[in-house]
Structures are given as structure tokens and as C-alpha cells.
Amino acid sequence: MKIQLTVSEQPKAWTTWNGEQWNQQLLLFCFVQDADAPPWQGIRASEDDLQSLTGDSDTSPAELAHALLHALERQAAHHPAALKPADLMARQVQLYLPTPAKPPPFFAFLWFTCLVAHGFPNPQMEGRFHRRFERLFSARQAHQLGALPDGWEKLVRWLALDGILGGAPHRLLQLRPIPGNARRIGHSWTLSFPRLADRRLLLEHLRNYQACGHQLDPWSPSFISRLQQVSAFSHDFRDELRLHAEGLLTDPDLDSWFTGFLLAEIEQLFGLREGPDKDAAATRFGPLLLRGYGRAIGVLLISDGLSANEIASFKRVDGKPWGVEHTELLVPRDPEDPPYAAYDAGSLAIDPCDSPLSSL
């Protein structure tokens, strides 16, 4: 199958996609549209992402997910052996040899298992993944999930080949270590973790903790406890935090996929790694320009490359803003006439340690 790099501009084009076309569009969506994503970052695999994939914001995400499911069912039924979707996936994985001209034909099924891992079709269903999977497919098809790890591994190998996707820039994929008790579905869970809303909330709190001088240490019970106090996280995310906290009680040096996830987010955000036996790199945000607004403080993160005229407009003051080392603190010489028009768009915070508006 040769991948076409053009995507239809028709909002309802997805209504005619067969299983192979869904597979093609999902490969482009996850690896070409997100070409700048680092290998360790998961893939976009939620019901809401289906609206972005199809360009159809009028159709409900659940309806789009069922359309993908029906396309997988029809594709398997049209096989000469009249297979079920999981049976077809297992057979495709077994026979597949990664080559540039032949994309993995089973990626749409892999992607769908990510959807199931995060709640589709019913996040409240007891038994989590397997009960939801059996509701959509069958208990017999669940036996074929043993092929998932090989499927993900072959996808990783294909993405690393030269000349795939018509030479288009694309991202690579790095699989996280999976504990033995989650071997079959572990990659489906971790690659689509966390949900977008959870990740945005996590980054917001990481910025606030850093600004307040707290250590960002995935092995620190106090750091994990702070995150556990954020009630806005989804049930799934809070579960992972709880399991991580429990693991730290028995192994203070716990090395798990969740530890790696937190470290990667911290490094991506601040360019540093912190933890046991690790020297935290000096953090530098760049110059911070401050201006008073009554009791509040305006904060603007500005470029390191200041011209001579711009430097003359500021005066430097000593100090460690919110305990952050190696950050230059500036104030305008004339508070009534700030030199940057964009200055008034800086974050405002009465208490930089508590306000969600203090993110830098």
C-alpha cells in the first residue's frame, strides 16, 4: 500500500473510508502532522482527536469512533477467511516485514486499542480495558491481543527506516518499558497517556511548583503528594499517581514507565532532569521583566538578545525570583512607560506560588 500524502478537504470524506484508508489517515495524523514531536512522547489517540483527524467538528467523537470500528469489521469480514478484526490484526502482524514501501497495515487496530485503553466506549465499565474490549469485539478476540507488543515493535522499526511516507518529515516512536502484568496492552495504555486535558493541567502545575522553588522530583513523595491533591485530574491519571506513590513506599528508587513519563515532561518543559543521584541542571528562563500593577505583579519573559537601546531602558536588580537561580531580574527604569507594547500581556499574579495565572 502506497501512502497518499494529500488529505481530502471534504469534511465528510471519512464516511467513505475503508479500513485501509483509516489506517493511512491515522499514520499521517500521528506521525507526519506531529513530525516535530520527540520520540518519547505518546501519540494522539482520544475520541476528540478523531474530529481533528477527519476535519469534522459537527459529528460526535463517539460516532467517528464507531465508524472506525465498523470499517475494521468490514475489512476483516472481506478477508478470504472471513476474519474478525483482532484475528486479522494478529495475522497481519505475524506476516509483516517492515519495508519503506509497505506501511504497517494493522496500525488502525493498534490505534483503536489506545482508544479502548482510555475509556471507549464507557470509562465507568468495571474491568477497565478487557471488559470494554470484549463489549466491542468478543472474549475470543481478546486472546489475539498477545500480538499487540510485536505490532508496536514492528511499527517502531518501520518508522526508523529511510524513505517511508514518501520521504515526508515524520516523527519516530520510542516504546516505554512495560511491567510483565501489563505486557499485552501496556503500549496501548502508555502511548496514549495522558489525556490532553491531563497533560495541560500537569504542565501548568509543574510550572507553578518550579516558580515556587519546589523540587520537581518524580521520586519525591512530597512532590507526588502535591500532584495527588489536584482533583481536576482524570480518574485514570489519579490512579496512576496513586500506584506510583504506593510503589515509592516499597522502592524509593522505583524505575517505571510512569517515572519515565514524569521525567520526560519535566525535561521537555525545563531542560533538566532531577531525581536520586542526579545533579539538577541550572534552570534559566531568560530575563524576567517585572512591573507593579497595584498589589499585583506583571511578569514578561523576554528574549536573551537585547539591543543596547533596550538594555538602557532597564535596570537589573539582584535576587532569585521565586527561588530560581541563574535568572536575570529586570525592571523598567520608567514604570509609567514600559519599552515593550506587549508588556501588558504578561502574566499577572498576586501570589506567584498559588495563582494559575503565574505560569511563565
Q: Give the model confidence (pLDDT) of 246-294 as tens digits.
A: 999 999 888 777 887 888 788 777 764 343 343 333 333 344 555 454 4
Report the alpha-carbon distance of residue 17 to residue 202 in Å, rounded: 36
Structure confidence by residue, pLDDT tens digits, 126-157: 457 778 888 888 888 888 989 999 999 999 99
How much is the pLDDT for 46?
83
How much is the pLDDT for 98?
96
Q: Which three cell numbers stand for residue 183?
A: 505486557
How much is the pLDDT for 308?
37
Report the alpha-carbon distance of residue 77 to residue 245 in Å, rounded: 45
Cis previous bond, 352, omega within 30: no
Among the listed residues 83, 140, 144, 76, the one whose alpha carbon sits nearest the alpha carbon of residue 108: 76
Q: Which residues pair with 300 in a beta bridge?
A: 289
Report the alpha-carbon distance of residue 356 to residue 360 in Å, rounded: 10
252 and 276 in contact (C-beta within 8 Å)?
A: yes
Structure confidence by residue, pLDDT tens digits, 80-92: 999 999 999 999 9
Residue type at 35 in one-letter notation: A
Q: How many CA atoms lie within 13 A of 217 on its CB side?
A: 20
pLDDT band at 307 (very low <50, low <70, confident <90, very high): very low
How much is the pLDDT for 347?
39
Q: Which three cell numbers stand for residue 157?
A: 522499526
Task: Please give the mean pLDDT across all residues of the chain.
Answer: 76
Task: Give the position of cell 505518546.
Answer: 42
How much is the pLDDT for 85?
95
How much is the pLDDT for 91?
96
Where are the domains positioned within the chain?
13-191, 196-270, 288-358
4: DSSP letter = P
Structure confidence by residue, pLDDT tens digits, 187-204: 988 888 887 678 889 989
How much is the pLDDT for 197?
75
More confident residue, 48 or 313: 48
More confident residue, 300 or 220: 220
Residue type at 205 in one-letter notation: H
How much is the pLDDT for 258?
85
| Whether residue 345 has pLDDT greater than 50 | no
What would the DSSP string read from start to end of 258-297? HHHHHHHHHHHHHS---STT-PPPPP----EEEEEETTEE
